Amino acid sequence: MAGPSEDYQNSLGNDDIKDQEDAHESSDPVDEGKDTEGDSMAHPASNSIHRSSSRPQLDLSKAAIQGNFEERDPTILLPNQSDDISHLALDIGGSLIKLVYFSRHEDQSTIDKRKKTVKLRLGISNSNRRSYPILGGRLHFVKFETHKINECLEFIDSKQLHCSGVDSRHWGSESPNSQPINNANNAVIKATGGGAFKFADLFREKLGVSIEKEDEMDCLVAGANFLLKAIRHEAFTHIEGQKEFVQIDHNELFPYLLVNIGSGVSMIKVDGDGKFQRVSGTNVGGGTYWGLGRLLTKCKSFDELLELSQRGDNRTIDMLVGDIYGGMDYSKIGLSASTIASSFGKAISENKELEDYRPEDISLSLLRMISYNIGQISYLNALRFGLKRIFFGGFFIRGHAYTMDTISFAVHFWSRGEMQAMFLRHEGFLGALGAFMSYEKHGLDDLMVHQLVERFPMGAPYTGGKIHGPPLADLNEKISWMEKFVQKGNEITAPVPMAKPGTTGLGGFEVPSSKGGTLRSDASALNVGVLHLVPTLEVFPLLADAKTYEPNTIDLSETGELDYWFTVLLEHLPDLVDKAVASEGGTDDAKRRGDAFARAFSAHMARLMEEPAAYGKMGLANLLELREECLREFQFVDAYRSIKQRENEASLAVLPDLLMELDSMSEETRLLTLIEGVLAANIFDWGSRACVDLYHKGTIIEIYRMSRNKMQRPWRVDDFDEFKKRMLGSGPQKPRPHRRALLFVDNSGADIVLGMLPLARELLRRGTEVVLVANSLPALNDITAMELPEIVAEAAKHCDILRRAAEAGGLLVDAMTNSIDGSKENSSSVPLMVVENGCGSPCIDLRQVSSELAALAKDADLVILEGMGRALHTNLYARFKCDALKLAMVKNQRLAEKLVKGKIYDCVCKYEPAG
């Protein structure tokens, strides 16, 4: 009888996918006809992807990770590898071609000796739990229209993506001197979809490659399993225009129902990796919507039909419950007056011809009819097999807000709120990902979520609502586009802002309204970035509960938070651009890149203002990292380089006097003075507007002295007495010193030199090994792991404690060389070591840290997090298995009020004992 109810307001979004090709409006039938026969009967299938056992495994002999401190994703070099890992796969559908391709990092010629010293000390090898490593690199997602297949072929040829496939005739070769096979004429690439058969000859003719066809259903399931296990914010719900990302425990993922909506619909019960069964389907799918829509509205593309729907009013065509019962609800059986009793039902009772109905109303009614039908059948199949989760994919959805809302409402309606529809950000790439994983040596079998970093570079240019050309990889091309963009105004920002919807009845929207925005090609409100594969990232082992850990302290979804922080970041932008340009010598080229960076980052902010969930679940830490990534994209490696050097020199000049003063104090007085010094020195932060203003009022030493004079207890958060008791005890018996302390350091200059180094020295004096944990990449004026050894070496000239510890930790050049050569074993002091944290942001997500840090953490029993980014923006509420001390000066009034109910320049000394 009646189906679920209510008109839905459409909240349009733009799939401005960064660093990838996108599709223009298509004139072909909707893509992904996984179930073209439309059979609703179950077709059992229980398969795993076939992989030939004759293919060679990787040659791991003399494998090594190479790179320097500035390299975020170090490459694993395989010097004796005789063949290459294939890194291109396609899903060639009826209207779209989807590519997944893997790009590697350039080989590095130098090995960092300090890193090698740390590895030798800890016995860290370059191997991991896999039987073979994956190469550090990136997974890219690209789409082309199928009828423009020549553009796709040109793209593949321009990047030489087809030159890494391995000819199956060589898989069984036993020649020890075989060379890498890079001849395109010998290449084999994986593909799925109907086009893998249709265009096989064209690929051979144009590129000289053979297509190895993979089963569509196998690929679909393999791709979905990979995404759900490896991508943290992959799945989301979409209810009444609101997106909410869902984190799923890998141990509780299976079983689930995968509903792939292409021309027809397939419903697949997935029980595990390679274990699935097609349990149902329907011939009423995306092809139905496009086919009937084309006949009834004369639309020339699928996207045009979707665009019409956002301006439609289905009540002119659909018969509602209220139409039958005089505007009343049928409350006895739970149906509101706005519930659809019969799709297109009014057409039989009105004396109208087709041309009398608005195409917009027809499109909306048709979309609701088909989406509700799919939602209901999906729920019934989930109920049939006792499944709690339903994931919807396929390019019928296309991230279209109205479609997702309609499906979500149907599932909620029929399940009486016990079940939710979930969607995938990479919904259109399931088949291509599965084809990629069908390679024997794809290296992704055991990939964990912490080894994938998603980034959103400025990719293909957007003009007039369409995407043109391949990804912008060349810097000059990218800058040229940004210069054109500034003349175009804000056309890059897409979704159309909507008024808040009113609701009625069982939760459906009132009549959709529109501000006349254009629905863009593949109108997804969720961007798909580039996945960086970083095999050296690990979860920080000292987290008390990694599953419940959330690094972000500020919830940007709270009212007003997003607007406030966007304003802060944009107000800071001119100063940041000035520093970045100055760091490159103020050249014309640097100015041009600085302008381009400012426009690009502003475009990111505008995009997120329109659609906060466009890049997945965003916290303040993610926003700050987005800014740093954008700087690096325009080749500003270290915007504060010269400033950091000046501040380091000024601070090192007064360090000897400070150490002498500290040594004259009693143990108890010295400990308090050291903590005061850390808090006082943390005032030097170029990321804070209030602190930037201070720089114009005095020298670094004057500011430091002023800050020290303000260190009056009690502080806003003051656990110093508890920390002192753990360090010094409260009676004649002294407590056991910590074995190893991890000091997460923050800013350059006084912060590290006059604050954290003296604290590290005190711990060393007590017999505690100290590890200084610093950024892998520059961010604002934060100190990096590459810069720290030089600072320690300078400080060691004035202090025997630091000198002996630095020698033991391999930080001094002579001692480091001797340690590597094995000719000198320095055990006269506990070591002072430096390790990179694995990130390049003012904040830190402890779910993704460097493998060296993870190894060093296993024997640590004290963690000290210093600075606003690491101890307030993130990790203020983080719990650890060991003792933890969080130190920071609050340099933002809003944070002061929100987190500590205080004011700017308040201090936080938060101590949490183990457990």
In this predicted structure, the answer to whether residue 84 has a pLDDT above a threshold of 70 is: no
Report if residue 97 sits inside a domain. yes
Q: What is the pLDDT of residue 104?
A: 65
Q: What is the pLDDT of residue 664?
A: 94
- Residue 2's closest CA among 311, 368, 290, 309? 368
Where are the alpha helices (H) located in 640-699, listed in sequence order? 641-663, 667-681, 689-695
In this prediction, residues 499-525 reach a mean pLDDT of: 30
In this predicted structure, the answer to whether residue 555 has a pLDDT above a threshold of 70 is: yes
Q: What is the pLDDT of residue 132?
A: 37
Give the strand pairing for 75-77 and 64-66: antiparallel
One domain, residues 515 and 468: yes
Euclidean distance between CA atoms 152 and 145, whole angstroms: 8
Q: What is the pLDDT of residue 16?
A: 30
Domain residues for 210? 32-223
Q: What is the pLDDT of residue 442?
A: 67
Q: What is the pLDDT of residue 667?
A: 94
Euclidean distance between CA atoms 234 and 254, whole angstroms: 16
Reading the block at residue 675, the tokens are: 């903590």
Confidence of residue 166 (pLDDT cuts 50, 70, 90): very low
Euclidean distance between CA atoms 129 and 152, whole angstroms: 37
Confidence of residue 600 (pLDDT cuts 50, 70, 90): confident
Euclidean distance between CA atoms 74 and 92, whole angstroms: 33
Q: 3-state secondary structure string, 489-557?
A: CCCCCCCCCCCCCCEECCCEECCCCCCCCCCCCCCCCCCCCEEEECCCEECCCCECCCCCCCCECCCCC
**Cα dihedral 454, 460, 461, 463 sign:** negative
Q: Residue 451 carries which DSSP code?
A: G
pLDDT tens track for 809-834 = 989 855 443 433 333 444 458 999 99
Total residues belonging to the chain: 915
Confidence of residue 773 (pLDDT cuts 50, 70, 90): very high
Residue with tokens 């170029």: 686
Q: Are 412 and 418 in contact (CB under 8 A)?
A: no
One domain, residues 835 and 687: yes
One domain, residues 607 and 661: no
First to last CA, the chain: 58
Helix, strand or coil for residue 880? Answer: strand
Could you please report the per-residue DSSP string of 772-825?
Answer: EEEBSS--TTB-BTTTHHHHHHHHHTT-HHHHHHHHHTT-SHHHHHHHHHTS--
Confidence of residue 448 (pLDDT cuts 50, 70, 90): low
One domain, residues 84 and 203: yes
Q: Residue 109 carries which DSSP code?
A: -
Report if residue 330 sits inside a domain. no
Give the strand pairing for 64-66 and 96-104: unpaired
Q: Are 756 and 743 in contact (CB under 8 A)?
A: yes
In this prediction, residues 18-28 reach a mean pLDDT of: 33
Q: Are 744 and 864 in contact (CB under 8 A)?
A: yes
Report if residue 752 sits inside a domain. yes
Q: What CATH number has the domain bearing residue 718?
A: 3.40.50.10880
One domain, residues 714 and 753: yes
In this predicted structure, the answer to whether residue 531 has a pLDDT above a threshold of 50 is: yes
In this predicted structure, the answer to whether residue 30 has a pLDDT above a threshold of 70 is: no
Q: What residues form DSSP beta bridges with 385?
A: none
Q: What is the pLDDT of residue 820?
A: 36
Q: What CATH number has the domain bearing residue 159?
A: 3.30.420.40
- Residue 426's closest CA among 86, 134, 91? 91
Report if residue 498 sits inside a domain. yes
Euclidean distance between CA atoms 201 and 726, whole angstroms: 74
One domain, residues 110 and 214: yes
Reading the block at residue 122, the tokens are: 């800890």
User: How is the beta sheet containing 188-192 ordered, strand by strand?
Assistant: 210-213, 188-192, 88-92, 96-104, 137-145, 530-533, 452-455
**Cα dihedral 148, 153, 156, 157 sign:** negative
In this predicted structure, the answer to whether residue 837 has a pLDDT above a threshold of 90 is: yes
Q: Are 808 and 832 in contact (CB under 8 A)?
A: yes
Report if residue 702 sits inside a domain. yes
In this predicted structure, the answer to whether residue 112 has a pLDDT above a threshold of 80 is: no
Out of 717-721, 757-761, 885-889, 892-896, which region has the weakest mean confidence (pLDDT)?
892-896
Q: Are 76 and 126 in contact (CB under 8 A)?
A: yes
Asked which of 572, 600, 618 is the last residue of a domain, the reply is 618
One domain, residues 110 and 164: yes
In this predicted structure, the answer to whether residue 265 has a pLDDT above a threshold of 90 is: yes
In whole angstroms, what separates CA 631 from the centre of its chain?
17
- Residue 287's closest CA among 37, 521, 90? 37
Helix, strand or coil for residue 122? Answer: helix
Could you please report the per-residue DSSP string of 787-801?
Answer: THHHHHHHHHTT-HH
In this predicted structure, the answer to whether residue 703 has a pLDDT above a threshold of 80 is: no
Residue 230: partners with Cβ closer than 8 Å, 6 or more residues away: 444, 447, 448, 449, 451, 452
In this predicted structure, the answer to whether residue 469 has a pLDDT above a threshold of 60 is: no
Report if residue 695 sits inside a domain. yes
In this prediction, residues 37-46 reach a mean pLDDT of: 38
Q: What is the pLDDT of residue 775?
A: 95
Report if residue 247 sits inside a domain. no
Residue with tokens 């097609």: 278
Q: Which helix (H) or strand (E) holds 604?
A: helix 588-610
One domain, residues 767 and 713: yes
One domain, residues 703 and 586: no
Bigger pLDDT: 893 or 81? 893
Number of domains in the chain: 3
Q: 3-state secondary structure string, 159-197?
A: CCHHHHCCCHHHCCCCCCCCCCCCCHHHCEEEEECCHHH
In this predicted structure, the answer to whether residue 33 has a pLDDT above a threshold of 90 is: no
Out of 625-639, 788-802, 866-880, which region has the weakest mean confidence (pLDDT)?
625-639
Reading the block at residue 42, the tokens are: 């179950």
Q: Provide the residue type at 859 as one letter.
A: D
Q: What is the pLDDT of residue 875?
A: 97
Q: Are 632 and 840 in contact (CB under 8 A)?
A: yes
Euclidean distance between CA atoms 365 and 371, whole angstroms: 10
One domain, residues 759 and 864: yes
Q: What is the pLDDT of residue 441?
A: 64
Q: Residue 862 carries which DSSP code?
A: E
Report if residue 236 sits inside a domain. no
**Cα→Cα distances 370→29, 31, 858, Å:** 16, 16, 55
In this prediction, residues 257-279 reach a mean pLDDT of: 93
Out of 382-391, 600-609, 750-759, 822-831, which region has the weakest mean confidence (pLDDT)?
822-831
Q: Work out the mean pLDDT of the chain and round it to a whole number.
A: 76
Q: What residues form DSSP beta bridges with 276?
A: 270
Asked which of 223, 248, 282 is the last residue of a domain, the reply is 223
One domain, residues 664 and 599: no
- Residue 629's closest CA among 600, 650, 656, 652? 600
In this prediction, residues 187-214 reach a mean pLDDT of: 92
In this prediction, residues 677-690 reach a mean pLDDT of: 68
Percent of residues, the chain, with pLDDT higher than 70: 71
pLDDT tens track for 65-82 = 344 323 333 333 444 433
pLDDT tens track for 643-663 = 899 889 888 988 998 899 999
Bigger pLDDT: 383 or 326? 383
- Residue 25's closest CA among 467, 675, 649? 467
In this predicted structure, the answer to whether residue 92 has a pLDDT above a threshold of 80 is: yes
- Residue 737's closest CA among 807, 671, 803? 671
Confidence of residue 561 (pLDDT cuts 50, 70, 90): confident
Euclidean distance between CA atoms 311 and 295, whole angstroms: 19
**Cα→Cα distances 563→379, 556, 700, Å:** 38, 9, 33
In this predicted structure, the answer to whether residue 558 has a pLDDT above a threshold of 90 is: no
Asked which of 223, 249, 277 is the last residue of a domain, the reply is 223
In this predicted structure, the answer to whether residue 62 has a pLDDT above a threshold of 60 is: no
- Residue 639's closest CA among 687, 701, 691? 687
In this predicted structure, the answer to whether residue 107 has a pLDDT above a threshold of 60 is: no
Reading the block at residue 472, the tokens are: 């912008």
Q: What is the pLDDT of residue 21?
A: 31
Q: What is the pLDDT of residue 690?
A: 46
One domain, residues 601 and 653: no
